[in-house]
Amino acid sequence: MTGARAPQGATAVTVDEIDPRPVLRHERLHQGRVIDLVREEIDLGEAGVVTREYVDHPGAVAVVALDDEDRVLLLRQYRHPVRAYMWEVPAGLLDVDGEPADEAAARELAEEADVTASRWAVLTDYATTPGSSNEAVRIFLARGLGEVAEAERHVRTGEEAGMEVRRVPLDEAVALALDGSLHNPSTVVGILAAAASRAGGWSSLREVDAPWPYRRAS
């Protein structure tokens, strides 16, 4: 899928366009548990051949879970690379081959927050660091919240053990995102996208199976 091109003389359409350049050489420098580091030589045509190193990432999903009082669910989790406890929306890797993104999002919401949702929609998509990683994230809006039955709850370990769960009014969460109190990218993007979509009567929401060409092929 590629972005639309405007006819000659028409107003340009501002949309990202997938248009891969030829890869002349591919090398895996490091294979990790989740992510790899690769080096590629890319033919840019008249601009010549360049060498780039980037993180090959399976992608992820995140969930803005909004309750009937317009409160967004946030989790407090330790993130070692930045040495910080961060307030985040539920999220997780797309590390199950062939798993639909919406099913992965529902699984993560249940596992991390013991919460279910009856209504789902795509809120927004983004590339986390397109200059150094191919990681793509799809953020879902989840509403009609309920609770996972006690006997079916996931046993959380590692950084997820003992996570604090808090429901924050969406307007308050927007202020926290803008004043520098929140730093997790999916949280900031998701909160601002939810506020913008709500202001437009939620007309921007997409179906859960909306095209997502930026997701890495398995």
Catalytic center residues: 160
What's the rounded Cα separation, in Å, for the pair 64 and 148? 17
- Cα-flanking dihedrals φ and ψ of residue 168, to 5°? -115, 130
Secondary structure class of 76 (helix, strand, coil): strand
Provide the terminal-to-terminal Cα distance of the chain, rounded to the nearest Å.
17
Would you state the structure tokens that stand for residue 101, as one six-digit string? Answer: 């993104």
Taking CB atoms within 8 Å and a gap of at least 24, the contacts of 30-37 are: 34/58, 34/93, 34/95
Rg (Cα) of the chain, in Å, rounded? Answer: 19
Decide if 61 contacts 140 (C-beta within 8 A).
yes
